[in-house]
Structure 1
Amino acid sequence: MTHRRFLLGLGVVAVPLLLALLGPFLAGEPGPRATSFALGDGHLLGTDFVGRDVLRQTLLGGRTVVVTALAATALAYLVAVPVALAGALTRLRWLEDLLMRPLDVLLAVPSLLLILLVAAVLTPGAVGLALLVALVNVPDAARIVRAAAGEAAARPAVEALRMQGESRWRIAVGYVGRSTLRTLAADAGIRLTGVLYLVSTAAFLGVGVAPDAADWAVMVDRNRTGLMVQPWAVVVPALLIVALTMGTNLLFDAALEKRGRR
């Protein structure tokens, strides 16, 4: 059953990932614009709100979503994991408070609201959007890693390693860090889905991308006015976003189940 779930998740996530990675190389040169929200006339999936070929826009629109989401997730853990491990292993209460309490303040602000507030002052591009999404995910990720690392750091094995003269680095990474890997893997599957949601929602609201950019989320937003006339311009990018999130969850669930059995 686990093997089937893994293959199903791999099959589901492979389609949007391949389109995101290889699509720009397959898109070709833009052709002349046609009538808005038209079907046929040489356009396999019809045209969008300004008469561009939907198939070409779909091939071009995945890279921003996928790369931004992956970069934001990696950046969030790049900050959260060292902070959480330091908080879990320190014996100084004030240092742990100094590391973790500012994150609690940031956690109190709704993620999308914070992104929109920053976007109202600045004009973030794709890099800025990735940094913003990473920032709002750091507090939650750090708390989860801190909880798992705190349990591992309280084990007698850690005290034994200290008595043997093991370095802080080896204790933090070699034992406590390894003990949190399963929790990290479970959180990563959920977090990547949440990051994809945030990136897509922000792009849907016009944050980080141009209003007419070739982006799956922007396509859903800009073409929804013609949904009843030309549905493919909305349905195809929306299904690709859903497939990406659902396939990711299936892959992580299958991997965790397989690891648990071992």
Structure 2
Amino acid sequence: MTATATIATQRARRVWPRAVARVSPAVLLVLLALAGPLIAPHRIDKPVTEAYGAAGGGVPLGGDQLGRDVLSRLLHGGSALIGSALTVAVLVTLLATLFGCFAALSPRLGQLVERTADTVILLPPVLGIMLLALAWPGGGRLAIVATATLLGTPYATRIIAGAAAPLAHSGFIEAAVANGERTWHLALRELLPNLRSTVLALFGLRFVEAVYIISMAGFLQLGPQPPQADWALMIRENSPGILLNPWAVVAPALAIGLLAISVNLAAEALTPDRGRKEELR
């Protein structure tokens, strides 16, 4: 084994445990949210205690404003939020990556992306969500997903375009242009493989932002409606009784925060350049 291979193996052995430690909380939380409906002890619409009943007995987290089991609703409320946030993050990252790579190669498209991003940034997120979600036929979770994707793509595209701009003028791009390669080849086969770290980091950030946007919309009752089990909706519904049963509000709030933090740490740990950064510490 060569010296370079030995050093690479030693680095991988040191970095791998740290990466696993960062990724594991996100994986466990996502699996728990997906399997939650299967392990919930009670039906989400069945009162099992008095309103804002205290924790204890068969209700470890007490009851909500209608006496329903908080734990059961908590276990049911995460899968839809994760699915919606994941959809937004995938769509925004995919669209931003495509538009950003082409924008870096086309000055005219790059100017259009920059102006569009500047315009969207000036629009307050809450106002944008309210305008688009309320105007969407039927509203609901689909409207929030579409709105978050629409509002998040221009700024994310600008990030990708900014990261791709220096590469667009590098030697390997000039060589590909001299060989007569088309723009789509330059964007997808030359630029994109060199933007893996940026794309993965962007995905983690977009997921976290999507979690907060969808949660905010749920708190404003622009997405899921009662009696659906949703973490943000649980916070809004049970906030008047926070002094009677704090878990009805604290538990879903902690779940949202832990989801955002754990996924962000996982994306950071999986970034290709992470190993070299850890080695420098």
TM beyond 0.5? yes
| Matching residue of 2:240 | 225
One-letter amino acid matched to 2:116: P
> Following the alignment from structure 1 to structure 2, what is the Cα–Cα distance between the partners of residues 33 and 261?
50
- Segments of structure 1 that go 5 or more residues without pairing to the other structure are none
Q: Could you say what secondary structure the match of 2:60 adopts?
A: coil
| Matching residue of 1:53 | 69
Q: Aligned to 1:178, which of 193, 201, 210?
A: 193
One-letter amino acid matched to 1:22: A
Instruction: Tell which has more relative contact order, 1 or 2 (C-alpha 8 A, sep 6+).
Output: 1
Q: Aligned to 2:58, which of 38, 42, 66?
A: 42
C-alpha spacing 1:3/1:239, structure 2 compared with 1 (3 Å):
farther
C-alpha spacing 1:260/1:63, structure 2 compared with 1 (3 Å):
same
Q: CA deviation at 1:121?
A: 3.1
The answer (yes or no) to whether the contact 2:93–2:199 under 8 Å persists in 1 is no
C-alpha spacing 1:192/1:112, structure 2 compared with 1 (3 Å):
same
| Matching residue of 1:109 | 123
Pairing 1:67-216 to 2, within 5 Å after superposition: 67-90=83-106, 93-122=107-136, 123-216=138-231
The answer (yes or no) to whether the contact 2:105–2:168 under 8 Å persists in 1 is yes
Q: Aligned to 2:80, which of 64, 86, 94?
A: 64
> What is the TM-score with the length of structure 1 in the denominator?
0.90
Q: Could you say what secondary structure the match of 1:229 adopts?
A: coil
One-letter amino acid matched to 1:80: A
C-alpha spacing 1:147/1:58, structure 2 compared with 1 (3 Å):
same
CA-atom RMSD, angstroms? 2.2
> What is the TM-score with the length of structure 2 in the denominator?
0.84
The answer (yes or no) to whether the contact 1:33–1:50 under 8 Å persists in 2 is no
What do residues 17-60 of structure 1 show as CA deviations (whole Å, max 9, x unaligned)?
Answer: 12221112223662444311002353222111111111110111
One-letter amino acid matched to 1:138: T
> Following the alignment from structure 2 to structure 1, what is the Cα–Cα distance between the partners of residues 121 and 159?
12
Q: Which stretch has the larger CA shift, 104-113 or 207-216?
A: 104-113
C-alpha spacing 1:179/1:237, structure 2 compared with 1 (3 Å):
same
| Matching residue of 2:40 | 27
- Segments of structure 2 that go 5 or more residues without pairing to the other structure are 1-13
> Following the alignment from structure 2 to structure 1, what is the Cα–Cα distance between the partners of residues 260 and 219?
16
| Matching residue of 1:258 | 275
> Following the alignment from structure 2 to structure 1, what is the Cα–Cα distance between the partners of residues 52 and 18?
38
Q: Could you say what secondary structure the match of 2:270 adopts?
A: helix
Q: Could you say what secondary structure the match of 1:43 adopts?
A: coil
C-alpha spacing 1:190/1:96, structure 2 compared with 1 (3 Å):
closer
| Matching residue of 1:7 | 20
The answer (yes or no) to whether the contact 2:92–2:206 under 8 Å persists in 1 is no
> Following the alignment from structure 2 to structure 1, what is the Cα–Cα distance between the partners of residues 90 and 233?
24
> Following the alignment from structure 2 to structure 1, what is the Cα–Cα distance between the partners of residues 39 and 171?
57
Q: Percent identity?
A: 33
One-letter amino acid matched to 2:184: W
The answer (yes or no) to whether the contact 2:51–2:65 under 8 Å persists in 1 is yes
| Matching residue of 2:6 | none
> Following the alignment from structure 1 to structure 2, what is the Cα–Cα distance between the partners of residues 61 and 191?
20
Q: CA deviation at 1:10?
A: 2.6
Pair 1:238-2:230 in alignment: no
The answer (yes or no) to whether the contact 1:145–1:183 under 8 Å persists in 2 is yes
> Following the alignment from structure 1 to structure 2, what is the Cα–Cα distance between the partners of residues 238 and 2?
32
Q: CA deviation at 1:150?
A: 1.2
What do residues 183-213 of structure 1 show as CA deviations (whole Å, max 9, x unaligned)?
Answer: 1222222222111111111111111110432
